[in-house]
Chains A and B, each alone.
Chain A
């Protein structure tokens, strides 16, 4: 399949610090690709290099078949960029900001007016179009920022933490519009802290740690790589210290953690653990309020990949290699 983004051995050093270390990946045209990782993993540096904001130390990157350094203006005409900060002019209205951006991208007057109206309506901001952004909430500003990135109809949309710190309504609206854009054929490159968001939206994700991709694949494929791990979640009618001691004593149990009033039990044998928990409750007069098994989530994959446990990271790298090098289009 034709590539929208092609990155080869991309590296960025800041003095003695290596922010991005030999990244190689491809994003197919029309694909929804997510780059996940903890703070400082190299996500933003990667997006900055792909969008012409930062010069790589070495390696190459192409967007839409054009070299990001040698043909940066041609690349910039094809892409829309939404940075983590809603960096628009607070002294101007949403409408005037969009008109400015449209003019900057060379969109003719009639088209930019029509596009601005269409986008502000989609983002539910048309009624407030003449208000200065100074009076907008964070969620509203982010919506205008995304609308501004779409005004020139980009082929590839780069989103750096688009819903970070936003209210539920704005986040849901943004996700729904991004999904719709992708269905219409726009390639989306997303970085996010919200693993569930990536799970819901992305066709494929890569997890980056210390500037290197440690695993890459579709969310379901990555989750299935953890099939040996199961979680039993149980809540009792009352809480006593003996409960946790009992749960930890099970030889099948690898880890017990408490989340709210529920115990999360990571076990190698869910059926044996469920049986043991039921017997314990019956013989000690506890009532089980809820008990269910959970499939591994993308967050579990993320924790595995980005935690400091070298053994876990090695395992994911093994899985990546087993998938054929992990570099797929």
Chain B
């Protein structure tokens, strides 16, 4: 009746094409399910929009400060929200177990999810950048490096969201704890106030957040790309690797009980 004993030639789950296919499959599924969740609209788009408006209305902000800060903040909230919500919901509904019992490693799952969250952050950031450039008439000296910095930053923030969601039990806790980290982060990372204008203790802390390096890299790409931009990108890449590895570790620890 069911004829389940057909021999299927499934590609080995460890081959490169097998892994890439599975990463893409997880990313497509997450994009389809979570991009349009109301929570994404709230935590990923509305909160950063309101925060930015409340601090910028009535002030004259030069475009080389406005655009990197705005794009950096949109990337932080957009990329981290999708995966924080996706992992938290999937843990709660036990759909995360579907991925766990499939022939995919936790690293593959994290990369797939990270790809979906990053793509969302990248899209939002680029739309924001284009809109800001059109409205202010600003010039971006090196659009290619600007895009590269946006992409790397989005991957770091996506992993950050996943790390928080892996560590906590449910979605409200994931969102609240992540917001509690993101809000102070935007005040010390050069989004509203340049880092060099911060008091020394805050300046020291600012070097510990990936957003500082993204905003600095975007500023460099907008004005005059230099060695500083390369250093920013290298630090951001280190954050990506570190946060992804921590997300893998935390998911293994919290789900394989």
Binding site for B on A (CB under 8 A): 14, 51-55, 73-74, 76-77, 79, 81, 83, 85, 87-92, 100-101, 103-108, 111, 115, 118-119, 122, 148, 150, 152-154, 177, 180-181, 184-186
Among residues of A, the one whose C-beta sits closest to the C-beta of B95 is A87
Give chain B residues whose Cβ lies under 8 Å from the Cβ of A87.
Answer: 93-95, 97-98
Query: Which of A83, A153, A180, A185 meets B1, CB within 8 Å?
Result: A180
Give chain B residues whose Cβ lies under 8 Å from the Cβ of A90.
Answer: 93
Complex Cα–Cα for A80 and B168 (A): 29
Shortest CB-to-CB span from B14 to chain A, Å, is: 6
Give chain A residues whose Cβ lies under 8 Å from the Cβ of B104.
Answer: 73, 76, 104
Give chain B residues whose Cβ lies under 8 Å from the Cβ of A55.
Answer: 256
- Contact, CB under 8 Å: B4 / A104: no
- Contact, CB under 8 Å: B103 / A118: no
- Contact, CB under 8 Å: A53 / B10: no
Given contacts A87-B94, A101-B98, A107-B10, contact A92 B33 (CB under 8 A): yes
- Contact, CB under 8 Å: A153 / B33: no
Among residues of B, the one whose C-beta sits closest to the C-beta of A75 is B103
Shortest CB-to-CB span from A201 to chain B, Å, is: 15
Complex Cα–Cα for A90 and B29 (A): 12
Complex Cα–Cα for A119 and B29 (A): 22
- Contact, CB under 8 Å: B102 / A150: no
Query: Which of B3, B10, B255 meets A105, CB within 8 Å?
Result: B10
Query: Which of B2, B32, B102 meets A101, CB within 8 Å?
Result: B102
Give chain A residues whose Cβ lies under 8 Å from the Cβ of B12.
Answer: 106
B42 within 8 A of A: no
For the side of the interface on B, what is the size category? 35 or more
Shortest CB-to-CB span from B96 to chain A, Å, is: 8
Complex Cα–Cα for A148 and B101 (A): 12
Give chain A residues whose Cβ lies under 8 Å from the Cβ of B13.
Answer: 73-74, 76-77, 106
Give chain A residues whose Cβ lies under 8 Å from the Cβ of B29.
Answer: 89, 92, 100
Give chain B residues whose Cβ lies under 8 Å from the Cβ of A180.
Answer: 1-2
- Contact, CB under 8 Å: B25 / A77: no
Q: 5 shortest A-B CB distances, which residue pairs? A: A106-B10, A87-B94, A76-B103, A103-B25, A77-B103
Given contacts A100-B29, A103-B21, contact A184 B97 (CB under 8 A): no
- Contact, CB under 8 Å: B102 / A184: no
- Contact, CB under 8 Å: B21 / A184: no
Give chain B residues whose Cβ lies under 8 Å from the Cβ of A85.
Answer: 94
- Contact, CB under 8 Å: B33 / A89: yes
Complex Cα–Cα for A79 and B4 (A): 12
A/B interface sample: 6 pairs, CB < 8 A: A83-B97, A89-B33, A100-B29, A103-B25, A153-B6, A181-B4
Complex Cα–Cα for A100 and B95 (A): 12
Interface string of B210-232 (1 = CB under 8 A from A): 00000000000000000000000
Given contacts A52-B101, A184-B2, contact A91 B25 (CB under 8 A): no
Shortest CB-to-CB span from B223 to chain A, Å, is: 43
- Contact, CB under 8 Å: A73 / B4: no
B18 within 8 A of A: yes
Shortest CB-to-CB span from A67 to chain B, Å, is: 15
Q: Which of B4, B26, B93, B104 counts the most chain A CB atoms within 10 A? A: B4
- Contact, CB under 8 Å: A184 / B5: yes
Among residues of A, the one whose C-beta sits closest to the C-beta of B9 is A108
Among residues of B, the one whose C-beta sits closest to the C-beta of A123 is B2
- Contact, CB under 8 Å: B102 / A107: no
- Contact, CB under 8 Å: A106 / B11: yes
